[in-house]
Amino acid sequence: MTTLKNSKGFWLSIVLALIFFSVMQFTISNGMLNPFYINTLMFIGINIMLATSLHLIIGITGQFSIGHAGFLAVGAYASAVMTMKLELPFIIALLAGGILAAVAGMVIGIPSLRLKGDYLAIATLGFGEIVRIVLLNIDYVGGASGMQVSHLTTWPWVFACVMITIIVIRNFTNSTHGRACISVREDETAADAMGINTTYYKVAAFVIGAFFAGVAGSLYAHNFYIIQPSNFGFLKSFDILIFVVLGGLGSLSGSVLAAILLTIVTTFLQDYPETRMIIYSLVLILMMIFRPQGLMGTREITTLFTGKKTKGGPKDGSHNTVA
């Protein structure tokens, strides 16, 4: 019975999303939405993908990674090379961006097995910087001046990618593998003792997260006309981190909400980048001091309506145990 009920909610949300999609598509194709709002909409989509993919690494598996912009950069550049240099169709560029970023995720995931907490954070930060510096030094992709990319990202593409990302990450989290990842987050030693291959799941989380970040990078590159290594510095990684932290480490809907909220805030503060960063940093500090579990904690938005307690939530005896 509960399975039926859960899947009912699942299909309901898909139908709602499709309705939202068609309404947006209708307004866009009739020219009712000006380009500024369309662009904001695209950015919201891309940021949701970034936030949810990082959510899988930090929120579910508990691996504190702050080099997510590195995966974004790998995806962006790989897809840009595909469409601009090799003149392949956009769908192949999307996949190539994702796959190359996934390979990068595996490369950083494997040494990360030996690292924990702070050290892992610094190593991933270093990885992000290395990606940026490597791109800066490759003349084939334009070095510091960057690369021209044609505008191919459209609303149906963004929507489809966001949907796939959310569905895959949601289902992964609720599967056996997702449970294993959560057990790694809660207590790695105990998970090991229970016979869970922690190494495998940590790398898996990195690879899946990196894949979707790479796809987001492809969309990002083809929405932006030009990509430069300086777009992918650690400030970008911190931007993505803020989505996840604000939404609540461990809450998928939380990170989606935070991505939407902060993208809108960012768009309206575009002319005042310092003010935006000051607000971001104050949000981070005050959040950690007064509500370290984030807006949603580990709860999901659906539980607000059903009133049903999810396992592992703040009332489950394990208070914000993330990392």
Partner 1 sequence: MELIQQLVNGISLGSIYALIALGYTMVYGIVKLINFAHGDVFMVGSFVGFYSITVLDLSFIPALLISMIVCAIFGVLIERIAYKPLRNATRIAALITAIGVSLLIENGLIYIRGAQPEAYPNDVLPMDKLDILGVSISSQSILILSVSIILMIILQFVVHKTKIGKAMRAVSFDSEAATLMGINVNNTISATFAIGSALAGAAGVIFGIYYIKIEPLMGVLPGLKAFVAAVLGGIGIIPGAMVGGLLLGVIEALVSAAGYSLWRDGVAFIVLILILIFLPQGLFGKNKREKV
Q: Tell which positions 188-247 bind partner 1, by CB under 8 A.
A: 189, 234, 238, 241, 245
Per rule CB under 8 A, is residue 22 in the interface with partner 1? no
DSSP 204-272: HHHHHHHHHHHHHHHHHHHHHSEE-GGGGSHHHHHHHHHHHHHH-TT-HHHHHHHHHHHHHHHHHTTT-
Decide if 226 contacts 122 (C-beta within 8 A): no
Paired tokens of 148: 């021209």
Q: d(Cα 312, Cα 160) in Å, to the nearest integer?
A: 30
Per rule CB under 8 A, is residue 323 in the interface with partner 1? yes
Each residue 109-148 as x (binds partner 1 by CB under 8 A) or -, in order, gives: --x--xx-xxx-xxx-xxx-xx--xx-xx-----------
H or E stretch at 39: helix 35-54
CB closer to partner 1, 214 vs 229: 229
Q: d(Cα 29, Cα 184) in Å, to the nearest integer?
A: 46
CB closer to partner 1, 17 vs 126: 126
Per rule CB under 8 A, is residue 288 in the interface with partner 1? yes
Total chain residues near partner 1 (CB under 8 A): 43
Backbone Cα Rg of the chain: 19
CB closer to partner 1, 15 vs 130: 130
What is the closest distance, in whole angstroms, from the C-beta atom of residue 63 to partner 1 in the complex? 10
Per rule CB under 8 A, is residue 289 in the interface with partner 1? yes
H or E stretch at 147: strand 147-148
Question: CA-CA distances (angstroms) from residue 294 to 56, 212, 317?
Answer: 16, 23, 17
Per rule CB under 8 A, is residue 282 in the interface with partner 1? yes
Q: Tell which positions 66-105 bind partner 1, by CB under 8 A.
A: 66
Residue from 150, 171, 175, 275 binding partner 1 (CB under 8 A): 275
The candidate with the shortest Cα–Cα distance to 165, out of 128, 201, 214, is 214
Site of tokens 């940590």? 202
Q: Tell which positions 241-270 bind partner 1, by CB under 8 A.
A: 241, 245, 249
Contact positions vs partner 1 (CB under 8 A): 64, 66, 111, 114-115, 117-119, 121-123, 125-127, 129-130, 133-134, 136-137, 189, 234, 238, 241, 245, 249, 274-275, 277-278, 280-285, 287-289, 292, 320, 322-323
